[in-house]
């Protein structure tokens, strides 16, 4: 972590500018997952990228070394914060939430919400998760072709809805995900634009984003209303927010606050988990040997073990999900804004810079991973993980502002994978898995696969 005093910092070299043309820089930032690799290969592990005058468009500092990731992700206020343009825009439209709060408000909210997401608390939901997942994976017909992207979203949405948020989604994931995806895409595009109009200018894209956000908030208001009127509804996340009080003032969260958070949980939790699940299932459908190992592991444990401790009882399945997070995870990069001059991997970063840890680039770096593009779940076995730099694998971020949903996602996805493979044998139809990164990384189109009932 940066411990530099002003004198120490003064002795450090500045961050070098990336030797790419303007067009190349804009193109790299537009596709930040592969863009960070391009920037690293051109300029090194800590590189500055400009796309406009500093006053209008702060420079990006792209960080792709484990040490740099550690320096950025363990840093906290007042050195770094989250109020970079994407987040201030997100807040302006969606309202304040855990995702976009600046430090002081975030500390209070995180303290309130963290207890719902601990490993122990998630363990209390696994029986419910198991029921939902089992039920969701039953609707396929033997021999039919499915879209793994769409069905992963459908399953994930049900798990999130029915285990912690008290809503019963229909069978149409796009009704919810499409507005959230378009909303995020709009804000992400604004962040990358060299020049942007003020938020109050009612362009068609802006009006669309506001309307999409309104729809998401209507769903959140319905969730909250149902939870208040039905005391038996399984909705621990919503109930925790209803019961929470500010530790200093004793004030509860307003309904508006709760709705802002619910929208963010939907937006942050659905696509991320579903994209990784879709990738994992696609890989299994290409690598029958790995699929059979997962199936053998899943079939060797009884339902009670799955209900009580899925991750503890399915170590290989967990490794498959981790390897899927490495190669097919949703996070292109993680951003902070430097509020002070600070040290990152031996360089002096100037205050006002946008720090982006290139997660996709770190996860595929040939100097960090043996055969980086090979899907090899055993690299996450306890034995082979020993000695690995903790900062080269950061799918959920790390440090104080890391993903609050990590334990939930890991448990839910392990059960989702297990439950699908327990019943079905998958064959992926396409040999490749194209992605795009409008905000998070998502499949660029349908991911077709044929499912066959597994003979027990
Ligand atoms: C595979 C699944 C997931 C991945 C890869 C993922 C990844 C991430 C990442 C990279 C961050 C930013 C961390 C940082 O800035 O250091 C984040 C933040 C966050 N995630 Fe997730 N996430 C996943 C699932 C979830 C789920 C299931 C939820 C909620 C139900 C969730 C809610 C959040 C929230 C609220 C934040 C902001 C946390 C804060 O600033 O305190 N995520 N996630």
| pLDDT tens digits along 366-396 | 999 999 999 999 999 999 999 999 999 999 9
Does the beta carbon of 331 sit less than 6 angstroms from any atom of ligand 1? yes
Give the end-to-end CA distance of the chain in Å, rounded to a whole number: 52
Tell me which of 25 and 84 has the higher pLDDT.
Answer: 25
- Of 125, 403, 442, the residue with max ligand 1 atoms within 8 A of its CB, to mutate for a pocket test, comes to 403
pLDDT for the residue 174: 66
What's the CA-to-centroid distance between 119 and ligand 1, angstroms? 15
pLDDT, residue 192, reads 64
Ligand 1 centre distance from Cα of residue 143 (Å): 35
Decide: helix, strand or coil at residue 337.
strand
| Longest alpha-carbon distance in the chain | 69
Share of the chain above pLDDT 70, in %: 93
pLDDT at 172 over 70: no
438 vs 189: CA distance, rounded Å? 8
273 within ligand 1 shell (Cβ under 6 A): yes
Bigger pLDDT: 271 vs 174: 271
Q: Length of the chain in residues, anyone? A: 456
Cβ(409) – ligand 1 distance below 6 Å? yes
Q: Residues 101, 122: contact at Cβ < 8 Å?
A: no
User: Ligand 1 centroid vs 239 CA: distance in angstroms?
Assistant: 20
Q: How far is the CA of 293 from the centre of ligand 1 (A)?
A: 29
Ligand 1 centroid from CA 397, angstroms: 8
What is the tens place of the pLDDT at every residue in 316-326? 999 999 999 99
Q: 191: pLDDT confidence band, cut at 50, 70 and 90?
A: low
Give CA–CA dist 417/426, Å, rounded.
Answer: 11
Q: Is the CB of 404 under 6 A from ligand 1?
A: yes
Tell me if 310 CB under 6 Å of ligand 1.
no
Q: Which of 238, 405, 416 to mutate to test the pocket of ligand 1 (most atoms within 8 A of CB)?
A: 405
| 33 within ligand 1 shell (Cβ under 6 A) | no
Residues 6+ apart with CB under 8 A from 353: 15, 48, 58, 59, 60, 61, 337, 338
Q: Are 181 and 438 in contact (CB under 8 A)?
A: yes
Tell me if 265 CB under 6 Å of ligand 1: yes
- Is any atom of ligand 1 closer than 6 Å to the C-beta of 393? no
User: Quick one: three-class SS letters along 291-308?
Assistant: HHHHHHHHHCCCHHHHHH
Look at residue 87 in the predicted model and tell me its pLDDT: 83
Quick one: pLDDT at residue 1? 46
94 Cβ below 6 A of ligand 1: no
Confidence of residue 196 (pLDDT cuts 50, 70, 90): low
The finding on whether 328 has its CB within 6 A of some atom of ligand 1 is: no
**pLDDT attached to residue 2:** 46
Q: Tell the burial category of 101 from Cβ atoms under 10 Å away from its Cβ (0-12, 13-18, 19+).
A: buried
Residue 377 has what DSSP assignment? G
Checking if the pLDDT of 40 tops 50, the result is yes
State the burial class of residue 302 (Cβ atoms within 10 Å of its Cβ: 0-12, 13-18, 19+).
exposed
pLDDT surpasses 50 at 4: no
Contact 140, 454 (CB under 8 A): no
- The Å distance, Cα 267 to ligand 1 centre, comes to 10
Whether 7 shows a pLDDT value over 60: the answer reads no
Q: Give 249-287 pLDDT, tens digit per residue.
A: 888 889 999 999 998 898 889 889 999 999 999 999 999
Mean pLDDT across 341-368:
97
Mutate to test the pocket of ligand 1, among 268, 354, 362, 415 (most ligand atoms within 8 A of CB): 268
Mutation test of ligand 1: which of 113, 129, 396, 407 has the most ligand atoms closer than 8 Å to its C-beta? Answer: 396
**pLDDT computed for residue 32 by the predictor:** 92
Chain segment 104-136, per-residue pLDDT in tens: 999 988 988 888 888 888 888 888 888 888 888
Ligand 1 pocket residue status of 112, Cβ below 6 Å: no
CB of 161 closer than 6 angstroms to any ligand 1 atom: no
CA distance 403 to 206: 28
- Interval between CA 343 and ligand 1 midpoint (Å): 25
């Amino acid at each position: 972590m940066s411990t530099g005093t002003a004198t120490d910092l003064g002795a450090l070299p500045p961050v070098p500018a990336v030797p790419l043309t303007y067009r190349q820089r804009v193109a790299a930032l537009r596709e930040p997952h592969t863009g960070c690799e391009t920037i690293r290969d051109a300029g090194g592990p800590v590189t500055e990228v400009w796309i406009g005058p500093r006053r209008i468009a702060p420079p990006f500092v792209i960080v792709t070394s484990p040490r740099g990731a550690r320096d950025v992700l363990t840093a906290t206020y007042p050195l770094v914060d989250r109020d970079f343009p994407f987040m201030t825009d997100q807040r302006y439209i969606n309202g304040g939430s855990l995702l976009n709060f600046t430090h002081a408000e975030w500390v209070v909210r995180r303290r309130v919400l963290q207890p719902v997401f601990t490993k122990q608390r998630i363990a209390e939901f696994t029986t419910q998760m198991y029921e939902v997942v089992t039920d969701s994976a039953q609707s396929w017909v033997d021999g039919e072709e499915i879209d793994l992207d769409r069905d992963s979203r459908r399953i994930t949405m049900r798990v999130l809805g029915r285990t912690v948020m008290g809503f019963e989604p229909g069978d149409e994931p796009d009704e919810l995900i499409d507005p959230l995806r378009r909303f995020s895409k709009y804000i992400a595009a604004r962040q990358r634009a060299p020049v942007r109009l003020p938020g109050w200018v009612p362009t068609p894209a802006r009006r669309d984003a506001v309307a999409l956000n309104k729809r998401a908030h209507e769903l959140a208001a319905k969730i909250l209303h149902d939870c208040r009127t039905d005391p038996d509804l399984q909705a621990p996340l919503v109930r925790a927010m209803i019961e929470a009080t500010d530790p200093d003032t004793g004030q509860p969260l307003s309904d508006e606050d709760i709705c802002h958070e619910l929208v963010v949980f939907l937006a942050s939790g659905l696509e991320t988990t579903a994209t990784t699940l879709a990738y994992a299932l696609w890989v299994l459908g290409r690598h029958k040997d790995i699929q059979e190992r997962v199936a053998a592991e899943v079939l060797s444990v009884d339902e009670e073990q799955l209900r009580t401790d899925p991750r503890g009882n399915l170590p290989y399945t967990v490794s498959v999900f981790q390897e899927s997070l490495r190669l097919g995870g949703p996070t292109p990069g993680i951003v902070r804004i430097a509020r002070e001059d600070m040290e990152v991997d031996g360089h002096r970063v100037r205050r006002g810079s946008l720090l982006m840890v290139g997660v996709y680039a770190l996860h595929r770096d040939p100097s960090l991973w043996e055969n980086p593009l090979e899907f090899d779940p055993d690299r996450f076995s306890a034995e082979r993980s020993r000695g690995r730099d903790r900062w080269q694998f950061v799918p959920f971020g790390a440090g104080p502002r890391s993903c609050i949903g990590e334990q939930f996602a890991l448990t839910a996805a392990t059960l989702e994978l297990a439950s699908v493979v327990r019943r079905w044998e998958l064959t992926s139809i396409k040999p490749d898995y194209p992605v795009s990164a409008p905000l998070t990384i998502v499949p660029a189109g349908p991911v077709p696969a044929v499912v066959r009932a597994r003979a027990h």
